[in-house]
Structure 1
Amino acid sequence: MEVAQKLGITADTSTTHIVAYYIEDATIRSEIIEKVKSLKDRALKDGQPYILESRAGEALPFQEGRDGGFNIVTATSFKNVEDRLYYSSFDPAHEELKNLAAMHLKKGLILDFAL
């Protein structure tokens, strides 16, 4: 069964990938934020950029105690489900980011939604 169909969306539905991190080291947080922000230009599929938007920043404590303790939030948007799956499974730039985060991650949360 096609992934999009399993998810109840069409194959050409755009998706956004949200990740919240808790990373203690401020230097590593800054490095992760910069790597995520540059994904739109660095991540390639078939030699071409494919990420629509990639944003990241320090979490703001507007709701003290209700932020789950996360201190970085990222949002990466894709034209379709296929691009999102490529990103999570095959993209070397994303793999580099995952490896860095995994070495320092105290906890994380991943959510995806369709637009």
Structure 2
Amino acid sequence: MNLQDSFLNQVRRESGEVKILLTNGTELRGHVKGFDNFTVVLNSGGEQHLIYKHAIAQLVSKRTSSPRHAEEETSAEKPAERRGGQGKPAPKQKKESFNSMDFSSLNLKEQSEVKVPSE
């Protein structure tokens, strides 16, 4: 689950009020009812608004903790799993950086000069 989906899922589950600022300056307040890859459904004043994500400039929640903490809380392991299953501490896993890309297997070839015919 990506950061955007995690954030939207958290505010949807908590049913807290959010403020959505659209790219045209319009401000909407309400509760996130649902979302998909392209849209967000917002309940506001007894009406449902279908908002295209590309029109959203900001989505503000009054919640203070980040979505990552909520995700970690929901994926809590059993104590035996955390300790490696045999009373030993589990090996530390290297944290992956945000948007990390591995270019180690990329093979770059020198490009020869391309001659463009004159008109």
* TM-score (ref. length: structure 2): 0.26
Q: Where is the helix percentage greater, Structure 1 or Structure 2? A: 1
Q: Which has the higher contact order (CA 8 A, sep 6+)?
A: 1
Q: Where is the strand percentage greater, Structure 1 or Structure 2? A: 1
* TM-score (ref. length: structure 1): 0.26
